[in-house]
Amino acid sequence: MSAAMLRPAEERIVHVPLGERAYDILIGPGLIGRAGGEFTARLKGRRAAIITDENVASHYLAPLMDSLQTDGIEAVSLTLPAGEKTKSFDNLAAVADMVLSAKIERNDAVIALGGGVIGDLAGFAAGIVRRGVRFVQIPTSLLAQVDSSVGGKTGINTRHGKNLLGVFHQPDLVLADTAVLDSLSPREFRAGYAEVVKYGLIDKPYFFHWLEKHWKQVFEGGPERNEAIAISCRAKADVVVEDERETGRRALLNLGHTFGHALEAATSYDSSRLVHGEGVAIGMVLAHQFSARLNLASPDDAQRVAAHLSEVGLPTRITDIEGELPPTDVLMDAIAQDKKVKGGKLTFILTRGVGQSFVADDVPPSEVASFLEDMRS
């Protein structure tokens, strides 16, 4: 019997039509236990190097290994510490070394079993080892399922900022096992939810409205959760297909990220103070407030966005971050390292209202600095 015939009714497939780099995102419960079947059905190689973290490994590494083994895939694994600090040069070297030691060939695969940190790091290694080996994403956080596992952005952080080294390397398959979401902490789930809200705020006002009404069911699980994940993956896939290498429209997916990344750098990637999704939540509110300050949007929209994010328990203000932050000029330095800077000019994702985001080139740094100064007092 084929893997497709064994699929549970609630499973969704989002296809990413990228020509010779096209792939499927499978969304549904139990996919880790069926990973071997999906792998053999879609990839030629019969060897895999699994990269994971300590938290995820204790729950899902053994079931994944079993499934691969049952389907005749020879797999080795490397378990790294959990957390944003794992996205480092040293760990990139460790992953590349392990993948080469395991003699992973171009048709074999690196498998990322974990959240965004593991996906970004393992994807970067997959993109550079032998100038590119196959890559399978098995995202285990909501954030990774709706965002980082899709679209091929990989990377590590440097002392200059977030994701400043990396390559575009599309996965060959994404297995989003929704059963694993039940074991996330409420904080981790909320952080991923910020990226779900982002798709509504970019260009889907009806989706934002739907989330305002149904967020409790999304948090509780059930059909609304799967629906929100599938809509998010579809939304991201559509943008990626239009602009795979972020020369234009893809920058919209960065809504909230310019401020968010600067805040993550300002808190030294200390997850006890701020995790990525929380930085994005604050960043999205700031983007709406900044747009209102520039008379591009109504302050009521910023208020509405802040009200929804805070209703689900996300931080919405810079002052919600615990502890001291560096001065505004240090935040501005981090913003100046943003990958969207062109000719030294800042590019921001601004908005004309809920679901009406746009890419704004040439935003005056002095306006941003004085806005940030006001927002932190």
Ligand X SMILES: O=C(O)C(=O)C[C@@H](O)[C@H](O)[C@H](O)COP(=O)(O)O
Which residues define the annotated binding site for NAD(+)?
116-120, 140-141, 153, 162
The amino acid at 377: S
Site for ligand X in 5-64 (CB under 6 A): none
Site for ligand X in 188-247 (CB under 6 A): 195, 246
What's the min distance (Å) between Cβ of 166 and ligand X? 7
Residue 59 a catalytic site member? no
Q: What is the DSSP letter of 140?
A: -
Residue 112 within binding range of ligand X, rule CB under 6 A: no
For residue 27, the 8-state DSSP code is: E
Site for ligand X in 311-340 (CB under 6 A): 339
Residue 92 main-chain phi, psi, to 5 deg = -60, -45
Q: Which is nearer to ligand X, 155 or 355 (CB)?
A: 155
Q: Decide if 250 is catalytic.
A: yes
Q: Please indicate whether residue 276 is annotated as part of the active site.
A: yes
Is 91 one of the binding residues for ligand X (CB under 6 A)?
A: no
Tokens of 305: 């966005």
**287 is a site residue for ligand X (CB under 6 A):** no
Say whether residue 253 binds ligand X (CB under 6 A): yes
Residue 168 makes CB contacts below 8 A (sequence gap 6+) with 127, 152, 153, 154, 244, 245
Alpha helix (H) residue ranges in the chain = 35-42, 54-70, 89-101, 116-128, 142-143, 186-203, 205-220, 223-242, 257-266, 276-293, 299-311, 328-336, 365-375
Contact pattern from residue 132 through residue 171 relative to ligand X, giving x for each residue in contact according to CB under 6 A and a dash for the rest: ---------------xx--x-x--------xx--------
Nearer to ligand X, 148 or 291 (CB): 148
Q: What is the size of the binding site for ligand X (CB under 6 A)?
A: 13
Of 153, 190, 204, 339, the catalytic one is: 153
**In the complex, minimum distance from the CB of residue 118 to ligand X, in angstroms, rounded to a whole number:** 13
Taking CB under 6 A as the binding criterion, the range among 18-26, 253-261, 292-300, 306-314 that sits at the site for ligand X is 253-261
Q: Is 254 a catalytic residue?
A: yes
Dihedral sign (CA 147, 151, 155, 157): negative
Q: How far is the CB of 154 from ligand X (least distance, A)?
A: 9
Catalytic residue status for 131:
yes
Q: Which residue is nearest to ligand X (CB)?
A: 163
Pair of tokens at residue 7: 């699929």
Give the separation between CA 123 and CA 118, rounded to whole angstroms.
Answer: 8
Which CB, 150 or 312, lies closer to ligand X?
150
Examine residue 87 and tell whether it contacts ligand X (CB under 6 A). no
Q: Does residue 250 belong to the site contacting ligand X (CB under 6 A)?
A: yes
Q: Rounded to 5 degrees, what are φ and ψ at 162?
A: -85, 140
Question: Is 198 in the active site?
Answer: no
Find how far residue 7's CA is from the centre of its chain. 26
Structure-block tokens of residue 42: 């879609």
Which of residues 134, 257, 288, 308 is near ligand X by CB under 6 A? 257
Is-catalytic flag, 213?
A: no
Instruction: Let me know: does 29 contact 180? Beta carbons within 8 Å.
Output: no
β-pairing, 74-80 vs 47-53, is parallel
Q: For residues 322 and 310, what is the distance between their CA atoms, to the nearest angstrom? A: 16
Other CB atoms within a 10 A radius of the CB of residue 342 amount to 10
- Return binding residues for Zn(2+): 195, 257, 276
Chain positions contacting ligand X, by CB under 6 A: 147-148, 151, 153, 162-163, 195, 246, 250, 253-254, 257, 339
Q: Enumerate the active-site residues.
A: 131, 153, 195, 236, 246, 250, 254, 257, 261, 276
